[in-house]
Amino acid sequence: MNKINRDHLQSLRDREEKRFVTEHPRSADLYRRAQNSLLGGVPMNWMKKWAGEFPIFVAHAGGAHFTDVDGHDYVDLCLGDTGAMTGHSPKPVMDAVADRLRKGLTFMLPTEDAVWVGEELQRRFGLPYWQFTLTATDANRFAIRIAREITQRSKVLVFHYCYHGTVDESFVLLHDGVVGPRRGNIGPPVNPAETTRVVEFNDLNSLEAALKHNDVACVLAEPAMTNVGIILPDEGYWKAAQELARRHGSLFIADETHTICAGPGGCTRLWNLQPDMFVLGKAIGSGIPGATYGCSEEVAQRISARIELEDCDVGGIGGTLAGNALSLAAMRATLEHVLTPAAFEHIIPLATQFAEGVAKQIRASELPWNVTQLGARAEYTFCGHPPRNGGESAAAADFALERFLHLYALNRGVLLTPFHNMALMCPATTAADVDLHTQIFAEALTDLL
């Protein structure tokens, strides 16, 4: 197996940095100017973390491509980290949104679109009742509140290296087997060890041991992990894990915000899961803020047994703009016209093409890396075998190498999902877009080795 020479990697990174700075003068100017009005020079702190000395500023986008303020065109394999999995500004959604813009956006009252969307979500995911929020984070937070309320238990169980948005309970890791705050956790309200149990994915014994305390309100999980590389469940894992949760009185919340890439009904439909609650955000409105959570008949009955009408606006579940008319119009158009079964028939083979192309280059270069695919999403990791849990995947992370590969691709017109090596396909992505990435990846490996 080949090894990366670190001095050589550093000199390549320096070369790519120089090229990046030279070719993006307008982004550099905007970033300099932004230092005076935006904290850290960016509208959201993590935008500083892109590979390259500064983030590129976007001018406009359409479908699977966008153009930056310096006039460079990019194949977008990041797609707003799933927010634009529909492609940028898909026409049916833009038409529905434009129509809604002229008719009023937010009322604290429902529109007919909400009913259409509720019925469609019911059909796709099997859960009977739905609510709407502005972000998947909020949907997760509210689902957790409900789980705690109806079980009268305090703890949330998550997997080591999970990500579910900025949910306090989930910024937690195992440190040599002991639960504690995740590195970088900013001002945790309490030590998350007080609120959260953490286990490794694909480990039923640990899951059972954690649930046995009978204090876990809910297991909050992506059916396949996607935020620390893609980690697929072992055969039979979810059947047994759901059974354990049920036996110990804990609810199972399936967060399918990313795993919707598996198919029109997410992993829930694909793998015949039976979650008690279900969360979906980001792509559901094609980038217009909106998210949803659904619940089973039993959960719905337990909620109505405990929540009084008089108190329902002050219970910690809400948001003035949640369920607004614009979000719902965008969701309806997205589900009806964009994230359709036919769209998945186009995007999943493209992810296979991406995975096979990258895997071939990895084999040819004799590198101990591998590629994993979940529906329309594929990711390569610097791990000799497909990781089975968060700990294994995180141990194989290589920040310097990852930044080099991202910057190399960016300098040649391809945007990968930042902070890991993920590529997502949208209905407008073409085979040529995928081939461009494969070719650039091959050149990067040749340069590296």
Ligand X SMILES: Cc1ncc(COP(=O)(O)O)c(C=O)c1O
**Cβ-based neighbours of 160, under 8 Å, separated by 6 or more:** 173, 174, 198, 199, 200, 201, 389, 390, 391
- Please, what is the minimum distance in Å from the beta carbon of residue 259 to ligand X? 7
- Please, what is the minimum distance in Å from the beta carbon of residue 344 to ligand X? 19
Among 86, 151, 202, 257, binds ligand X (CB under 6 A): 257
- Please, what is the minimum distance in Å from the beta carbon of residue 140 to ligand X? 6
How far apart CA 174 and CA 167 sit, in angstroms, is 17
170 near ligand X, judged by CB under 6 A: no
* Size of site (CB under 6 A) for ligand X: 15
- Is 211:244 a contact under the CB 8 Å cutoff? yes
Which residues in the 30-59 window bind ligand X by CB under 6 A?
none
222 near ligand X, judged by CB under 6 A: yes
Among 160, 164, 412, 420, binds ligand X (CB under 6 A): 164
Q: Which stretch binds ligand X (CB under 6 A): 56-64, 122-130, 255-263, 294-302?
A: 255-263
Sign of dihedral through CA atoms 356, 362, 363, 367? negative
Q: Smaller CB distance to ligand X: residue 163 or 408?
A: 163
Half-sphere exposure of 251 (CA within 13 A, CB side): 33
227 near ligand X, judged by CB under 6 A: yes
How far apart CA 137 and CA 151 sit, in angstroms, is 21
Site string for ligand X, 281-320 (x = CB under 6 A): xx--------------------------------------
- Which residue in the block uniquely carries the two structure tokens 């982004």? 27
Residue 278 gets the label, from left (phi > 0), alpha (psi -120 to 50) or beta, of beta
Residue 292's identity, in one-letter code, is T
- Which residue in the block uniquely carries the two structure tokens 């003068």? 25
Q: Smaller CB distance to ligand X: residue 160 or 302?
A: 160
169 near ligand X, judged by CB under 6 A: no
137 near ligand X, judged by CB under 6 A: yes
Residue 426 gets the label, from left (phi > 0), alpha (psi -120 to 50) or beta, of beta
How far apart CA 315 and CA 326 sit, in angstroms, is 25
- Is 142:133 a contact under the CB 8 Å cutoff? yes
Residue with smallest beta-carbon separation from ligand X: 165
Q: Smaller CB distance to ligand X: residue 361 or 421?
A: 421
How far apart CA 335 and CA 280 sit, in angstroms, is 12
Q: Which stretch binds ligand X (CB under 6 A): 56-64, 113-121, 161-169, 240-248?
A: 161-169
Q: Smaller CB distance to ligand X: residue 424 or 444?
A: 424
Give, in order, the Cα–Cα distances in Å from 159 to each of 53, 118, 203: 33, 29, 10
Q: Smaller CB distance to ligand X: residue 137 or 327?
A: 137
163 near ligand X, judged by CB under 6 A: yes
165 near ligand X, judged by CB under 6 A: yes
- Please, what is the minimum distance in Å from the beta carbon of residue 331 to ligand X? 14
80 near ligand X, judged by CB under 6 A: no
Q: Determine whether 107 is exposed, middle or buried from the number of CB atoms within 10 Å of its CB (0-12, 13-18, 19+).
A: exposed
Point out which residues bind ligand X (CB under 6 A): 81, 135-137, 140, 163-165, 222, 227, 255, 257-258, 281-282
